[in-house]
Amino acid sequence: MSRRGWNWIVILVVLAVALINPLYRHLGLNSPIVTLGLDLRGGVEVLLRAVPETTGPQQAVPTQDQMEGVMTVVRNRVDPQGQKEIILSQVGSDRILLQVPGEKNPDAIIEIIGETALLEFVNTGEESFESGTDFNQEGSTDRKEEFAKYDTILKGADLKNANVIFNNM
């Protein structure tokens, strides 16, 4: 190849590098994000033991379905948005290991896990409330001007089945 051919190759390579380099930096390709784990970042590690409600002497150990259900509930309570990168694994037949990197307060995690889920349908009469209005167990709302007691019509424990459906009207 002649000297002129090599010159063109060098010019094209330099031009390609000059065009790609700003794009490379702009997209953040030169700085990989390394997610630090529990050992490097610190965090909370909790070992939970599942104790099933005994319906007889034969059920002293929870079933695999029960354990998967408990793990789903724990995951949804501790990391509802899926951003904490928690590690949740089953240990043996009745224990769950929960690791939350970056968390500083183990009591807060234990409190979140221990919260009781409560679903109530209340009769508010003619009054309407915004979506997401919280009612405490006495029936009062989070609105300061009103603390009326509302009657519970139906509790979550009374439901046999629930499904998500979409109204296409």
Are residues 152 and 104 part of one domain? Answer: no
Are residues 52 and 29 part of one domain? Answer: no
Q: What is the pLDDT of residues 11-64, one digit of tens each?
A: 999 888 877 777 666 666 666 666 677 777 788 899 998 887 766 666 678 888
Are residues 84 and 58 part of one domain? Answer: yes
Please give the Cα distance from 9 to 165 (Å, whole number).
Answer: 62
Are residues 108 and 155 part of one domain? Answer: no
Q: Is the C-alpha dihedral spanning 65, 69, 75, 81 positive or negative?
A: positive
78: number of Cβ within 10 Å: 19
Are residues 45 and 28 part of one domain? Answer: no
Q: What is the pLDDT of residues 134-158, one digit of tens each?
A: 666 554 445 444 545 667 777 877 7
pLDDT at 147: 44
Domain carrying residue 6: 1-33
Q: What is the pLDDT of residues 70-83, one digit of tens each?
A: 899 899 889 888 88
How far, in Å, are 37, 60, 75, 87, 104 from residue 83 at the CA level? Answer: 14, 35, 11, 12, 16
Give mean pLDDT, residues 1-5: 80
pTM of the model: 0.53
Are 136 and 146 within 8 A, CB to CB?
no
Please give the Cα distance from 23 to 52 (Å, whole number).
Answer: 57
Are residues 150 and 83 part of one domain? Answer: no
pLDDT at 148: 54
Q: Tokens standing for 37?
A: 């784990």
Give mean pLDDT, residues 84-104: 90
pLDDT band with cut points at 50, 70 and 90 for residue 88 = very high
Total count of domains within the chain: 3
Are residues 106 and 52 part of one domain? Answer: yes
Chain mean pLDDT for the chain? 78
Residue 94's CATH number = 3.30.70.3400
DSSP letter assigned to residue 123: E
pLDDT at 145: 44
Please report, as a single letter, which amino acid is at residue 94.
Answer: D
CA-nearest of 48, 38, 120, 49 to 85 is 38
